[in-house]
Amino acid sequence: MQNTFEKHEFAPVYDKNSKVLILGTFPSVKSREMQFYYGHPQNRFWKLLAMLTGWPVPGTIPEKKEMLLKNGIAVWDVIQSCEIIGSSDSSIRNVVSNDLSQVLAGSSVTRIYANGKTAEKLYNKYVKDQTGMEVMGLPSTSPANAAYSLERLAQSWSQILEVV
């Protein structure tokens, strides 16, 4: 496989009541196909948030949006466009970051979290100066992060509940 230029083509999820912003790096191939976040069936993001919030695991995009918004959670990605091989974060090159100002201005976000170390690094490199806000790194919900069980992820991610 070789690097292809890809552009983020779906909107952030947030509203005026969102208190927490969770940032990924860039949508996976499956997410790009579905036109929504965390589309790979093995990614534990939706199961994890359902576990933390006490909601049933959402199946449809409207259900996912409802769970996020009713719990004060906004979701977007650090990258607006880049060169990438498939879904491989380690292959990301020529990054153009998203402008987070619209989300921050249109919400009540007081804390930004990164879903994984790569999202945290990219935020600090490309976005932190723009927002002036620190990012808190959380372990990735990706299936590639096999060292973390769903229960172990929940222990780390439970800190978002202190804000929402």
Q: Which CATH number do you get for residue 49?
A: 3.40.470.10
In this structure, is residue 115 part of a structural domain? yes
How many domains in the chain? 1
Across all residues in the chain, what is the average pLDDT?
A: 96
In this structure, is residue 18 part of a structural domain? yes
Confidence of residue 27 (pLDDT cuts 50, 70, 90): very high
Crossing angle of helices 45-53 and 61-70, in 10° steps, is 40
In this structure, is residue 163 part of a structural domain? no
Residue 18, pLDDT score: 98
Confidence of residue 1 (pLDDT cuts 50, 70, 90): confident
In this structure, is residue 58 part of a structural domain? yes
For residue 62, give every residue at least 6 positions away whose Cβ sits within 8 Å of its Cβ, in sequence order, or none. Answer: none
| Boundaries of domain holding 109 | 4-156
Q: For residues 135-154, give the mean pLDDT.
A: 95
In this structure, is residue 60 part of a structural domain? yes
In this structure, is residue 148 part of a structural domain? yes
Name the strand (E) or helix (H) holding 51: helix 45-53
Residue 152, pLDDT score: 96
* Total residues belonging to the chain: 164
In this structure, is residue 162 part of a structural domain? no
Residue 63 pLDDT exceeds 90:
yes
Residue 2, pLDDT score: 81
In this structure, is residue 147 part of a structural domain? yes
Q: For residues 122-137, give the mean pLDDT.
A: 97
Q: How far apart are CA 65 and CA 70, in angstroms?
A: 8
Residue 157 in contact with residue 48, Cβ under 8 Å? Answer: yes
Report pLDDT digits (tens) over 77-129.
999 999 999 998 889 999 999 999 999 999 999 999 999 999 999 999 999 99
